[in-house]
Structure formats: C-alpha cells, structure tokens
Amino acid sequence: MYRIFLIKIQKFKYEKRDLNLPFSQKRIIIGFLSRMVTNAIFLSHSLRKKVIVRLAIEEPVPHIIQIQTDKIRYLGPDERSFASIILKAERKIIEQKINSPNDHWFQPNPGLFAKITDDWLIDLDLYLNEPIGFIQFNYNSTNGENIVQETIDFSFRGFEEKINSFCEKFNSNIFVFNLTKGAIDWCEPPLPLNTVPHHIQIPKIVNPPKIVGLINIILDEIK
C-alpha cells in the first residue's frame, strides 16, 4: 500500500541564485516545501518505502512533479538538493510544453516524474488498493456541497485519534495539502472512493511540514 501526499501550490517563484541569499523570502518558501518533502519520504538514514509525494503546480502551466521513494535518485534531505532538482524539472516542463505535442510522463531527473496536466489525481490508481481514503488539510475556508469539514482542537493525542480512526477504514490513503490562496477546486477523482472526501481545517499556527511528519509517525506505529 502506498502512502500518498499531494501538495497543491500556485507557482514556484525562485531561481538558483535565491539559494545563496540567506534572508530571502523566496528561500523561506523553498525551505518550507523542502521540509514537507523531507518529512514525507525520509527516515533517519534511508527513504521510507512506498511513499509518493506529488506536487500539483498551477503556473505557468498546470503540471505535476512526482517523487516516488522506490525510484528517486540523487535527492538529499537538504533544501538545496530539493530546490535544484525542482528547478531542473520546471525548466524541462517549459521545454516539454514548447517542443512536444504529447503531454506524457517524463523524467527531468532520474526517478523524478513530471507531466503537464490539470488532473492532479491522474494515474494514482496504479498505486492504490480500494477502498481509498481522501483527506484534505485546509488552511483557508472551503465552501462546497457534499464536503465533510471540521476544525480540530489540535493536540497530538487528538490528531492521532483522528488519523487512526480515518485510516483504519481504508487500504490506501491520499493526504492533500492545499497551499494555494483560494479554496481548492478539485477535479472529480478518477478513483472509486467509498466515502465523501474528508476535509480538516488546521489552525495556522500548525504548519504543514509538522502535519506531514505527524502523519508518518502515527502510521508508522500502525504498520
């Protein structure tokens, strides 16, 4: 069973030179995303097994960058390593859009997969076993019909109980983080889900990298 973290952002707004500016606001953003990915895929001295991190990026063209722990190469746990391969992927995305009429999966870095698409959930059925859980963490208000949303009084014990009670119902789980400014507008998932997608409103004081780390700690204990 794969554990999938899907992170939706609007745009990568940094260049290689930003990595050398210690107080750059852009470097803070790089570090933020790097910690999310690091917390998702790394153990102390190795990579977790069967974890996928998918970055869904809206601009300059909707596309996906996917990190899969059983395939990724040359990725270290530091922000410079992460930023370098993502920058390389972003350049390849632009080249792919210009030079290739077919929006197929390709590898801008060994084991790093990319695809131009606005279907953020495309091909995830290849890694999942039904029934499939879909839980989204929101930092902005989300309005919509048929959405189960709750705000939790955040504590480790309360969060552990919530994640355990949710995940025990499913063979596979997708954890979604909406880091865009507005409420996320998801396309209809191409996967048969036996439940309405579950939304949890997270206090802004609790940052997404911490949530990712806590999810792994909790699920590692179960498995």
pLDDT at 13: 74
pLDDT at 101: 60
Domain extents for the chain?
A: 3-222
- Report the C-alpha gap between 165 and 154 in whole angstroms: 16
pLDDT at 74: 83
pLDDT at 114: 93
Contact call for residues 168 and 1 (beta carbons, < 8 A): no
pLDDT at 187: 43
DSSP per-residue codes, 178-211: E-SSS---PPPPSS--SSPPEEEEPPTTS-HHHH
Radius of gyration of the chain from its Cα atoms, rounded to whole angstroms: 17
pLDDT tens, N- to C-terminus, the chain (223 residues): 688 999 988 887 777 777 777 766 677 777 888 899 999 999 877 888 889 999 999 888 899 999 999 898 888 888 888 888 888 888 888 887 777 666 789 898 888 999 999 888 888 888 887 778 888 887 654 444 433 444 455 677 888 888 888 888 888 888 988 877 654 444 444 444 455 567 777 777 778 888 899 899 888 877 5
Identify the architecture of domain 3-222 in CATH.
3-Layer(aba) Sandwich (3.40)
pLDDT at 64: 93
